[in-house]
Amino acid sequence: MRRDPGNTRNSRPQAEETAAAILGWLANEPDMLGRFLALSGVQPNQMRNAVNDPGFLAGMIDFLMGHEPTLLAFCEATDTKPETVAAASHHYSGPGLDSGDY
């Protein structure tokens, strides 16, 4: 497995903190939250339980990562580096085929 020279991998607490920040940001962006819920199939009343599911958190982070303008809006609003979000994505989703870490 290749080592990450930029040390952008998140520990579990950092990944959880990033996921919580994304959820909080989405909660304050009704249009974006609606889009995420529509794409994920999660109903608003299911979110309280869904946040305990690592798969839901992975999907939420992937939603952000899949649209650069949304990612950058989150990063700007929360003073979070895109690399931090990418590391949280790696924590919850694992390495992708293009990462060299499979």
Torsion of CA 35, 16, 5, 1, to 10 degrees: -90
pLDDT score of 3: 32
Tens digit of each residue's pLDDT (9 = 90 or more) over 40-84: 999 989 988 999 999 999 999 999 999 999 999 999 999 999 999
In this model, does residue 5 exceed pLDDT 70? no
Mean pLDDT of 2-30: 78
Mean pLDDT of 4-28: 81
Is the alpha carbon torsion for 38, 44, 50, 54 positive or negative?
Answer: positive
Quote the pTM value.
Answer: 0.80
